[in-house]
Amino acid sequence: MKKILITSLLLISILACSLPSAAVTETSNETPNETLLTNTPAEVIQPTDTLVPTLVPPTETFTPIPPIETITPSPVPVVDSMKAVVTADKLVCRYGPGANYLYLIAFNNKTPMRLIGRTDGNNWVLVENSPQKCWVNSEFVQAEGDPKHLKVMYPDGFKIPVSPYYGPTTVLSATREGDEVTVSWIEIIVSPGKYEDENMFPYIVEVWRCENGEIIFETLGSRFPFISFVDQAGCDQPSRGRVYIQEKHGYAGPAEIPWPAQ
C-alpha cells in the first residue's frame, strides 16, 4: 500500500511539472527615464594643411621725382666797343664780314684799332675806321676782351655799299638732296672793267646754314649763277640765305633764297 502511495505521489509531481505556466506581462504607463544611446562615431578632426603666412609685398611709397632744373644760360654782357691790336703782318679790312668781299684797306702789324661790332655765326668783327667802317677776321687781332661781347651788327646793323651800275638778280630755284642744297639764279654779267681784280667773285652768296646743331654764317663766292653747299638738320633756328651781285663799286641785291625743306 505504501508503495502505491509513493508511486501515486511521484506521478502527480510529474504531471504538475508538465503543465504550462501562465505568461506574466508587465504593463507600465511611465516613460522610461533612460535615454537610448546610439553608437554615433565621434567626429574625427582631420589635420589641416600647415598655415604658411602669405608675404604681402610692401606698399610702394611714391616719391615724386624733383623736376630737373633747367639751366638758362646767362646773357652775354654787351659792350659798345673794345680796343685791339693787329697780330698779323698785314691784315685786310673788307666791305663785308668775309674774305670774299671787296678790299678796303690793310693794317700793318701792331696797328691799334677799335672794334665796334661783330657778326653772329663767324669770327669777323667791325672796325671803327673813318670814313668807311670795315671788317676783319678776329683771329688776327688781340682784343682787350672777348669779341663775343660786342653787339651783333650784321646783317641788321650794317649795310654794305650799293652798286650804282647793276640791279639785283632773281633766284630761280633752291633744291635739296639730303644735306646738299643747290641754288641757281639769273645770270648777271659784270663787265671786266667793274672787277676789282682778277680774283674777284661777281656773285656773293650769304648763307646761315646748320652745321652740327649750330647756325654758321658763311659768305661764299661764285663765278657762275649757281652754287651748292651743306645744310644739316638739327638747329633751333631756320636756315636762310641770299645772293648779291658784286662789282668794285658795291653790291646789287640781295635776292632772297626760298629755302628748301629738309
pLDDT tens column, 28-57: 444 444 443 344 444 444 555 555 555 556
**186 Cβ neighbours under 8 A, 6+ residues apart:** 169, 170, 172, 225
Q: Has residue 60 got a pLDDT over 70?
A: no
User: What count of other Cβ atoms lies within 10 Å of the Cβ of residue 219?
Assistant: 20
Element (H, E) at 5: helix 2-18
- pLDDT tens per residue, range 154-212: 999 999 999 999 999 999 999 999 999 999 999 999 999 999 999 999 999 999 999 99
Collapse the DSSP code of 15 into the 3-class scheme (helix H, G, I; strand E, B; otherwise coil) and give the result. helix
Q: Mean pLDDT, to the nearest integer, of 123-140? A: 96
Q: Has residue 261 got a pLDDT over 50?
A: yes
Q: Has residue 100 got a pLDDT over 80?
A: yes
Hunting for cell 638747329 — which residue is that? 235
Which pLDDT belongs to residue 175?
A: 98
User: For the chain, which domains are there?
Assistant: 82-154 (2.30.30.40), 171-256 (2.60.40.10)
Q: Has residue 26 got a pLDDT over 60?
A: no
Q: Mean pLDDT, to the nearest integer, of 96-121? A: 97
17-21, 120-124, 220-224: least confident range? 17-21
Round the average pLDDT of the chain to a whole number and report it.
84
Which pLDDT belongs to residue 258?
A: 99
Cell of 159: 649795310
Cell of 205: 652768296
3-7, 95-99, 215-219: least confident range? 3-7
- Separation in Å, CA 253 to CA 160, 170, 187, 193, 262: 10, 9, 13, 20, 26
User: What count of other Cβ atoms lies within 10 Å of the Cβ of residue 28?
Assistant: 6
Q: Mean pLDDT, to the nearest integer, of 57-61? A: 61
Task: Please tell me the distance from the alpha carbon of residue 11 to that of residue 13, in angstroms, as a whole number.
Answer: 5
**149 Cβ neighbours under 8 A, 6+ residues apart:** 76, 77, 78, 79, 82
Which pLDDT belongs to residue 36?
A: 39
Collapse the DSSP code of 149 into the 3-class scheme (helix H, G, I; strand E, B; otherwise coil) and give the result. helix
Q: Name the residue among 229, 220, 211 with its Cα closest to residue 175.
A: 229
- What is the percent of the chain with per-residue pLDDT over 70, rounded to a whole number? 72
Which pLDDT belongs to residue 39?
A: 46
Q: Mean pLDDT, to the nearest integer, of 107-112? A: 98
Bridge partners of 127?
A: 115, 134
Q: What is the DSSP string of 37-64?
A: PP-PPPPP-PPPPPPPPP-PPPPPPP-P
